[in-house]
Amino acid sequence: MAPPLLHLQDIRLTLGTTPLLTGAELSVSPGERLCVVGRNGSGKSTLLKVAAGLQPVDGGRVFVQPGCTVRYLPQEPDLSGFKTTLDYVESGLGPGDDPYRARYLLECLGLTGEEDPAVLSGGEARRAALARVLAPQPDILLLDEPTNHLDLPAIAWLEQELSSMRAAIVIISHDRRLLEALSRSIVWIDNGTTKRLDRSFAHFEAWRDEVLEQEERDKHKLGRKILMEEDWLRYGVTARRKRNQKRLAGLHSLRKQRKELRGAQGGVKLTAADAEISGRLVVVTENVSKSYDGRPIVRDLTTRVLRGDRIGIVGPNGAGKTTLLGLLTGALQPDSGEVKLGASLQLITLDQRRDSLDPRATLADTLTGGRGDQVVVNGQARHVMSYMKDFLFGPEQARTPVGVLSGGERGRLTLAVALTKPGNLLVLDEPTNDLDLETLELLQELLADFPGTVLLVSHDRDFIDRVVTSVLVSEGDGKWQDYAGGYSDMLAQGGKPPSPLGAAQSSRATDSRGPVAMPPVVASTAPKKLSFKDKHALANLPGQMATLQAEIAKFQRVLSDAALYTRDPMKFRKTTEALTRAETELAQAEERWLELELLREAVEGR
């Protein structure tokens, strides 16, 4: 075996008063592909900075082979002091490096090299930083969250580029699909020390579970107290992952129902704050179009979003994903076509920029609004310490100012705050940026349990596969295609991966593998005016729907009694039948109300 190019041995480091690394190890051999994983705040980024020579340590040994070149990609690259992106990338080249490679990489990443670094977006800055570390073709690449702010075409290009390189690669990423494709070894940072597995990331979760279970058995044998809060933070994630296997089976069932024209949804466990049940039809669009400066963003989109659907919106940066999200939620008006929102919608938007968080407030005060030590969830008061545990926070963090929390911890806190609010339509725009793997598992669990409808914009292929029931994919020129299932299901049905904007778009012929087109909501040959019967129905249907919703809520309360079937089987059967009838009548009333509303607007010339 070749001697290591880089070797970190018994690394010890304390930041402030808290020991962060207490004996960490890292060995990198030529051509190795290694991923570093661990809970947010465990020291992953710090370990990479130590390897790059940017972070001094309190103890241990750092060895780098003489003549070995190391390049490091930080999470937040600094481009200040450079006139153009080309200047920035060329500054990373060594004496013997190919100067033309800098411009080649910039062009591959969609940049010209003439951009002013001071006005770059987050995604453009990330692309320039990637070009800078890739241009010298170093011996070791240290990459900290390289896919943050990148769209799917850029991530696919990066995966291919890294796979073809001879350099050893050490990578931190939340993108499971990227890690599964690239990694050959895993270094897991846990409680300040490191554990290594010389297998790909696909084996990590099973290995982690085995290690934690063995540790738990060892602690039992030694008679130690194992129910400490800090242990819960670790073992709780394992339990969540196992429960998610059942949720994944449920997700496949939902996808099958959607593929069969979206049948009725089953019951789910309520974890978000109670909200009024939305109508069966959440959003209906018919021939919706939207353009900016003459460029079509959405063109002739006809689709339905039903209660319980989880819709993923996929496309390259600039394709109009956020615009489409605005149209579907009513925040934007279309240039043409109809967007109808269902009854009783209550919107929850996840603030991924976390601007709503006061950095001076404590974690507990942020959750309670500064009012005592109780959080109201599902109409019931819970102690803030108990609620914090659901989001992997320890009790010692209750008085921690929000401003000192890590990015992943602030992401968890944003989730916790959002889900105390009543709502039945959850809108997530790029929720996975800056989240670690364990926070992603938590978010997947919350979305699996969420009883309402979810609209999700994301570039994380694995996250989309685990969460959504269908995807809306940009196919260029304002066209969006609906596919049942996740990202992988879309590819299996003949869909094409999103191409960068400006790239030639190949036209895909419609065949039997394509998705079933949704029928229009209202026939094109509408009568010229509403009949008296139609007007009467339009006026009375909202009251009928409200009555049916109240009856459904009453039947559901009765059936929530777990002992009812054993105590009174006849009442259980009659209540179940009555609930089914009421839900069917409500669905029919909503369909009729929507048809009449669209007809009324057509008659009035709207």
| pLDDT tens track for 271-288 | 445 455 556 788 999 999
CA dist., res. 131 & res. 123, Å (int): 13
- Ordered structural domains, the chain, with CATH: 1-68+139-204 (3.40.50.300), 79-138 (no CATH), 525-603 (1.10.287.380)
Q: How many CA atoms lie within 13 A of 511 on its CB side?
A: 7
pLDDT band at 135 (very low <50, low <70, confident <90, very high): very high
Per-residue pLDDT, 270: 32
Mean pLDDT on 16-40? 89
State the Cα–Cα distance between residues 308 and 280, nearest whole angstrom.
8
Concatenated DSSP letters for 402-413? GGGS-HHHHHHH
Predicted local confidence at residue 484, as pLDDT: 87
The counts of H helices and E strands in the chain are 18, 20
Higher confidence at residue 223 or residue 491?
A: 491
Q: Among 591, 513, 604, 503, which Cα is nearest to 548's?
A: 591
Average pLDDT over residues 108-127: 89
9 versus 507: the higher-pLDDT residue is 9
Residue 263 is predicted with a pLDDT of: 36
How far apart CA 54 and CA 46 sit, in angstroms, is 9
Residue 511 pLDDT exceeds 60:
no
What residues contact residue 404 under an 8 Å CB cut-off, 6+ apart? Answer: none
Q: What's the DSSP call for residue 505?
A: P
CA distances for 442 relative to 424, 488, 503, 600, angstroms: 19, 22, 36, 45
C-alpha span between 393 and 433 (Å, rounded): 20
In sequence order, the β-bridge partners of residue 426 are 348, 454
- pLDDT band of residue 18 (cuts 50, 70, 90) is confident
Token code pair at residue 346: 């209550």
- Counting residues of the chain whose pLDDT is more than 70, the rounded percentage is 81
- 354: alpha, beta or left, given left = phi > 0 and alpha = psi -120 to 50? left
Amino acid 151: pLDDT: 86
**How far, rounded to the nearest angstrom, does the alpha carbon of residue 185 sit from its chain's CA centroid?**
25
| Mean pLDDT rounded to a whole number for the chain | 80
Parallel/antiparallel/unpaired status of strands 310-314 and 470-474 = parallel
pLDDT grade for 521, boundaries at 50, 70 and 90: very low
In this prediction, residue 74 carries a pLDDT of: 92
Question: Which residue has better confidence, 544 or 238?
Answer: 544
Judge whether residue 227 has pLDDT over 60: no
Please state which of the ranges 42-56, 222-236, 565-579 shows the lowest mean pLDDT: 222-236
Q: How many Cβ atoms sit within 10 Å of the Cβ of residue 402?
A: 18
CA distances from 80 to 83, 87, 344 (A): 8, 11, 49
Instruction: Average the pLDDT over each of 135-149, 192-206, 578-592 and give the range with the smallest value.
Output: 578-592
Band of pLDDT at residue 602, cut at 50, 70 and 90: low
Q: Which of the residue ranges 36-45, 141-150, 540-549, 564-573 has the most confident prediction, judged by mean pLDDT? A: 141-150
* pLDDT tens profile 427-450: 888 887 767 777 787 788 878 878
**Which of the pair, 597 or 189, is modelled with greater confidence?**
189
233 pLDDT exceeds 60? no
From 301, 303, 306, select the one nearest 262 (Cα to Cα): 306
The pLDDT assigned to 446 comes to 78
Average pLDDT over residues 90-115: 90
Would you state the pLDDT for residue 259? 55
Instruction: Show the 3-state SS of 32-68.
Output: CEEEEEECCCCCHHHHHHHHCCCCCCCEEEEEECCCC
Span of 38-42, 188-192, 521-525 with lowest mean pLDDT: 521-525
Which pLDDT belongs to residue 221?
A: 64
In this predicted model, what pLDDT tens digit does every residue of 337-389 receive, in sequence order? 999 888 778 888 875 566 678 888 899 898 888 888 888 776 678 888 888 88
* pLDDT tens digits, one per residue of 54-81: 999 999 999 999 989 999 999 888 898 9
Residue with the bigger pLDDT between 118 and 522: it is 118
Report pLDDT for 278.
56
- pLDDT band of 251, cuts 50, 70, 90: low
Q: Residues of the chain with pLDDT > 90: what percent?
A: 30
Inform me whether the pLDDT recorded for 292 exceeds 80: yes
**d(C-alpha 514, C-alpha 473), whole Å:** 13
- Check whether 418 has a pLDDT greater than 90: no
Residue 304's SS3 state is strand
Cα angle at 143 between 140 and 149, to 5 degrees? Answer: 150
User: Which pLDDT band, with edges at 50, 70 and 90, does 268 fall under?
Assistant: very low
Residue 34 pLDDT grade (very low, low, confident, very high; cuts 50, 70, 90): very high
